[in-house]
A and B are shown apart, each in its own frame.
Chain A
Amino acid sequence: MDTLTQLVLLSLAAGTPLVFAALGELVVEKSGVLNLGVEGMMLVGAVASFIVAARTQSPWLGVGAGALAAAMLAFVFAVIALTLRANQVATGLALSLFGVGLSAFVGRDFLSVVIEGITPIHIDRLTDIPVVGRLLFGHNPLVYASLVLFACVQWFLYGTRAGLVLRAVGEAPQSAHAIGYHVIAIRYAAVLFGGACAGLGGAFLAVAYTPSWVEGMTAGRGWIALAIVVFATWKPWRVLVGAYLFGSVTLAQFQAQAAGVAVASQLLAMLPYVATIVVLAIISRDATTIRLNAPASLGKAYHPE
């Protein structure tokens, strides 16, 4: 029983960076913008959070810094892709490459630094309840934060007028403009939000999950987050499912090793990436569902005239 509880806890934790990044990207894509720079923004968030945490001895300040740094990077993306009307795909790629380089550059002095990270909570009496205690009350605070984020995103998109406007912008920007909404401004806001979320995902890795800073420590999670948004057919609850599924696949390699499976560690490490490809193929195949759920203007440049 204890191993199972442990597995669930670890799966949720492993999936949490994906929850942050994918939820953020979901909001961005709902507004019609495709931002492929998630990997770069996560890394920048990770390195920024780690440095601030190390310097100020406060991992929570680090988390805030991570979100802020990634949002600033997202702002650059917005200027180039939205105001200067550059190709969104190319700009997103540039963002990722830049983020990888920037984070490596800025973080080189912090490679072997050790910090006091954010650890899972422990509430006396509640956490000690057998089985259920740890499952409900034994997670890392940021795991709870990611679930709150999910609730907020769900409520925002489907329960508020602003969320409705955002969805309309992603569906038909020309019609939204005709009614009188400022498409570009709304997309800017979405992109910044997505950046901050990606930053939180990276911050979680650097300041809670490991905690440490290693060059390229996201290992492709930003790209997997993009795939999860597709897998989720742009629905927030499915993002949760996808993120935690991938989290558990990531863990599988360690579990297999621990169980003494006689397969090389590198081959097991391929599992998340292979799974991503398979999932993408299965979901994309159903063109009708994609057409019905994908924001109709996704990735297309918007010209007000």
Chain B
Amino acid sequence: MSHPRAPRLALRGISKRYPGVLANDGIDLDVRPGEIHAVLGENGAGKSTLMKVIYGIVKPDAGTIRWEGAPVTIANPAQARKLGIGMVFQHFSLFDTLTVAENIRLAVDTIAARALPARIRDVSERYGLALDPDRHIHTMSVGERQRVEIVRCLLQEPRLLIMDEPTSVLTPQAVLRLFDTLRALAAEGRSILYISHKLDEIRALCHRATVLRAGRVTGECDPRVETSATLARMMIGSELPHPRHRDAAAGAPALVVDALDVRAGDPFGTTLRGISFSVRAGEIVGIAGVSGNGQKELLAALSGERTLGRKDAIVLCGTPAGRLGAAARRALGLAFVPEERLGRGAVPEMSLADNALLTTRGPALVARGFIRSKGVRAYATKTIADFRVKATGPDAAARSLSGGNLQKFIVGREIGQQPRVLIAAQPTWGVDVGASAQIRQALIDLRDRGVAVLVISEELDELMEICDRLAVIAEGRLSEAKSIHATSAEEIGMLMAGSHAARGEPSADAARA
């Protein structure tokens, strides 16, 4: 028997473990009819896993789900849809060369093809999501594509709508329109689960918020009465991490970036605008930011995988390097640990020894163009030993290693080249706790040896722990890099969460109106 005010969706004790990490740990969650409920947390806090459990993509190890009072098992997305749960993914599953109507037709077979355009127009207009059914997806902006995803969901009459990071790729105006839509849906009695870490938006839009951290619920509140600061504290933990390093006695700038402007390579990308910063020898500079704010483009421009028109935009150890390719920049003393391990940082089918040779060239490894396999094996073996990589030996295929071990190997390979500048992107993403600690210590040791280190990461904890200076990248722009002592976790958290108030610009609070 369901109580009239009973939650539409009730999760109790949901747990899910993956190899090496406990993604969800005993999570309780209630969503009522007509409620916009935020799920708040940093990347890696367990939000996506929880949503996958609700949508039937993943089976929980423990816990129960009650839907409208009755216990249910959600075995797959089709069942979730039948129950009345719809999900709008962060990374859309649309077909670029087809039209809006065709995309919707593929997923919705309950409406006849001839009636579909009218129904699309009807639903889209009702909720302020104007769509032309005959437009091709690839001509549409990201905001418009999201509307297609939403309308596709709505045409199946969901009673619970899950929105995963919906505003991470929207303009401020599109955000306002989206909020109007969501409020209209909630007014009809539908429930909305809103996953995000944008504090201002959650405060403007949501009725309740559940805060996740490291797989657990660390707080539940009404975001309308909280401040961004209190929310940030719940999100990143009450103990602020103690940076355990001495003050940096940094030397000359080894990496200087000056007014870097880079156009986005693809429609989902971010254009970089006027990025300027420098990293001195013997210091670690961190760039924090939610993914999708230009990190990918910045890294490609820094590593040389994408060359620039202006050679002075990037200066490496005194040499203008903007026009140089990756190999030439390495010769100048640059080393780079990319965010993708298999397929970019390492060749999956090749052995660790061969992968050591991927970026390392030195007289011990390559002499007059010929490979010295003894030197290569020795280098690989040393890397494996120094970084305690769990592998059967230098002949193990890269793809046979666990994520953490492969990451240790890649980090070790890059550090072993004795670079003058090291760039590390998401160095501990998907890596177990032990390996993470090792990698962070390795970066600190490197800094102590006088190397300039740049770390680009979404994990604030780790950046607070190892960086000397910290900047935030948001929407293709970089904030000023402040010394770790001159800033606080709250301030960084707010900058990361997209709030412009800290920089004195009009904030998203306007969305409340």
Instruction: Give chain A's interface residues, CB within 8 Å of chain B.
Output: 161, 164-165, 167-168, 171-172, 174-176, 178-181, 292-293, 296
Residue B102 lies at the interface, judged by CB distance under 8 Å to chain A:
yes
The answer for the CA separation of A179 and B105 in the assembled complex, in Å, is 11
Contact of A179 among B97, B98, B107, B138 (CB under 8 A): B107
- Closest-by-CB residue of B relative to A171 is B95
Residue in contact with A161 in the complex, picked from B97, B107, B113, CB distance below 8 Å? B113
B96 interface contact, C-beta 8 A: yes
B93 CB–A CB distance under 8 Å: yes
- Identify which of B97, B106, B107 contacts A292 (C-beta below 8 A): B97
A161-B105, A179-B107 in contact; A171/B96 too (CB < 8 A)?
Answer: yes
Question: Are A167 and B98 within 8 A (Cβ)?
Answer: yes
Which residues of B have CB within 8 Å of A175? 93-95
How far in angstroms is the closest Cβ of chain B from A61? 39
Kindly list chain A residues whose C-beta atoms are within 8 Å of the C-beta of B106: 164-165, 168, 176, 179, 181
Known: A179-B107, A292-B138. A164 touches B102 (CB 8 A): yes
Once bound together, how far apart are the Cα atoms of A168 and B107, in whole Å? Answer: 11
Q: Which residues of A contact B264 (CB under 8 A)?
A: none
The verdict on A171 contacting B98 (CB below 8 Å), with A179-B107, A180-B78 known, is yes
**B 88-116 binary contact with A (CB < 8 Å = 1; else 0):** 00000111111000100111000001000
Q: Nearest 8 CB-CB pairs, A to B?
A: A175-B93, A171-B95, A168-B95, A179-B107, A168-B106, A164-B102, A172-B95, A171-B97
Known: A161-B105, A164-B106. 11 other contacts (CB 8 A): A164-B102, A164-B105, A165-B106, A168-B102, A171-B96, A171-B97, A172-B95, A174-B93, A179-B107, A181-B106, A296-B97
Q: In the complex, how many angstroms separate the beta carbon of A236 from the nearest chain B beta carbon?
A: 15
B: interface residue count bin: 10 to 19
Q: Nearest residue in B to A165 (C-beta to C-beta)?
A: B106
Instruction: Provide the residues of chain A in CB contact with B95, threshold 8 Å.
Output: 167-168, 171-172, 175
List B110-147 residues whose CB lies under 8 Å from chain A: 113, 138
Give 25 A-B contacts (CB < 8 Å), ordered by A residue: A161-B105, A164-B98, A164-B102, A164-B105, A164-B106, A165-B106, A168-B95, A168-B98, A168-B102, A168-B106, A171-B96, A171-B97, A172-B93, A172-B95, A175-B93, A175-B94, A175-B95, A176-B106, A178-B77, A179-B93, A179-B107, A180-B78, A181-B106, A292-B138, A293-B97
Give bound CA distance, A109 to B82, whole Å. Answer: 63
Decide: A167 near B94, CB < 8 A? Known: A161-B113, A179-B106.
no
CB-CB contacts below 8 Å: B217-273 with A: none
Most buried by B among A168, A174, A176, A293: A168
A179 to B89, CA, bound (A): 13
Which residues of chain A are near B113, meaning CB under 8 Å? 161
State how many angstroms separate the Cβ of B293 from the closest Cβ of chain A.
25
Find the B residue at minimum CB distance from A167. Answer: B98
Bound-state CA distance A132–B507 (Å) is: 73
Closest-CB distance, B90 to chain A (whole angstroms): 14
Instruction: Report the nearest B residue to A158, measured CB to CB.
Output: B102
CA–CA, A167 and B113, complex, Å: 17
Residues in A whose Cβ lies below 8 Å from that of B102: 164, 168
Residues from chain B with Cβ under 8 Å of A178 in the complex: 77, 93
Q: Which residues of A contact B138 (CB under 8 A)?
A: 292
Contact call B97/A167, Cβ cutoff below 8 A: yes
Enumerate B33-62 residues with CB–CB distance to A below 8 Å: none
Q: How far is the CA of A165 from the CA of B102 in the complex (A)?
A: 9
What's the nearest-Cβ distance from chain A to residue B111, in Å? 12
In angstroms, Cα B95 to Cα A174, docked, is: 11
Q: How long is the Cα–Cα vector from A179 to B77 in the complex, in angstroms? A: 9
B134-169 interface (Cβ within 8 A of A):
138
Give the residues in chain B near A172, CB-CB below 8 Å. 93, 95-96
Q: Is B96 a contact partner of A296 (Cβ separation < 8 A)?
A: yes
| Complex Cα–Cα for A292 and B94 (A) | 15
User: In the assembled complex, which residues on chain A have CB atoms less than 8 Å from the CB atom of B93?
Assistant: 172, 174-175, 178-179
A167 to B60, CA, bound (A): 35
The CA-CA distance from A164 to B78 in the complex, in Å, is 21
A14 to B97, CA, bound (A): 33
**With the chains together, A191 CA to B77 CA distance in Å?**
30
Shortest Cβ distance from B487 into chain A, in angstroms? 41
> Within 8 Å CB of A296, what residues of B?
96-97
B93, B97, B105, B138: residue with the most chain A Cβ atoms closer than 10 Å? B97
| A167 to B107 CA separation, bound complex (whole angstroms) | 14
Q: Which residues of B contact A293 (CB under 8 A)?
A: 97
CA distance A178 to B107 in the complex (A): 10
Taking CB as reference atom, which chain B residue is nearest A179?
Answer: B107
Q: Which residues of A contact B77 (CB under 8 A)?
A: 178
Q: How far is the CB of B103 from chain A (nearest CB, A)?
A: 8
For B97, the chain A residues whose CB sits under 8 A away are 167, 171, 292-293, 296
Chain A hits for B96, CB < 8 A? 171-172, 296
Q: Restricting to B70-86, which residues have a CB under 8 Å from any CB of A?
A: 77-78
Q: Which residues of B contact A165 (CB under 8 A)?
A: 106
Residues of B close to A164: CB separation below 8 A: 98, 102, 105-106
Instruction: Give Cα A174 to B89, complex, Å.
Output: 14
- How many angstroms from the CA of A254 to the CA of B105 in the assembled complex? 51
CA distance A296 to B78 in the complex (A): 26
> Taking CB as reference atom, which chain A residue is nearest B93?
A175
A164–B226 alpha-carbon span in the complex (Å):
49
Residues of A within 8 A of B107 (CB): 179
- Give the most central of B78, B106, B113: most A CB within 10 Å: B106
- Closest residue on chain B to residue A178 by CB atoms: B93
Residues of A within 8 A of B94 (CB): 175
Question: How distant is A115 from chain B, measured CB to nearest CB, in Å?
Answer: 45
User: Could you tell me the distance in whole angstroms from the C-beta of B74 to the nearest C-beta in chain A?
Assistant: 16
Residues of B within 8 A of A174 (CB): 93
For A293, the closest partner residue in chain B by CB is B97
Q: Contacts of A167 on B, CB cut-off 8 Å?
A: 95, 97-98
Q: Please indicate the chain B residues that have their CB under 8 angstroms from the CB of A179 in the complex.
A: 93, 106-107
A60 to B175, CA, bound (A): 64
A180 to B107, CA, bound (A): 9
Complex Cα–Cα for A292 and B95 (A): 12
CA distance A274 to B354 in the complex (A): 42
Task: Provide the residues of chain A in CB contact with B78, threshold 8 Å.
Answer: 180
Q: In the assembled complex, how far is the CB of residue B31 from the closest CB belonging to chain A, in whole angstroms?
A: 24
CB neighbours of A161 from chain B (8 A): 105, 113
Contacts of A180 in B (CB 8 A): 78
Chain A residue at minimum C-beta to C-beta distance from B89: A178
Provide the bound-state CA to CA distance between A292 and B93, in Å.
17
**A175 to B102 CA separation, bound complex (whole angstroms):** 14
Q: Which of chain B's residues has its CB closest to A234's CB?
A: B97
Taken together as a complex, chains A and B put the C-alpha atoms of A180 and B97 apart, in Å, by: 19
Chain B residues near A292: list those with CB within 8 A. Answer: 97, 138
Min C-beta distance of A182 to chain B, whole Å: 14
**A181 vs B106: C-alpha distance in the bound complex, in angstroms?**
9
Complex Cα–Cα for A176 and B105 (A)? 12
CA–CA, A178 to B96, complex, Å? 16
Residue on A nearest B57 in the bound complex, by CB: A178
Give the residue name and chain of the A residue nearest to B77 (CB). A178
A178 to B94: give the CA distance in the assembly, Å: 11
- Map CB proximity to A onto B340-353 as digits: 1 under 8 Å, 0 otherwise: 00000000000000
Q: How far is the CA of A165 from the CA of B138 in the complex (A)?
A: 18
From residue A272, how far is it (CB to closest CB) to chain B in Å?
A: 31
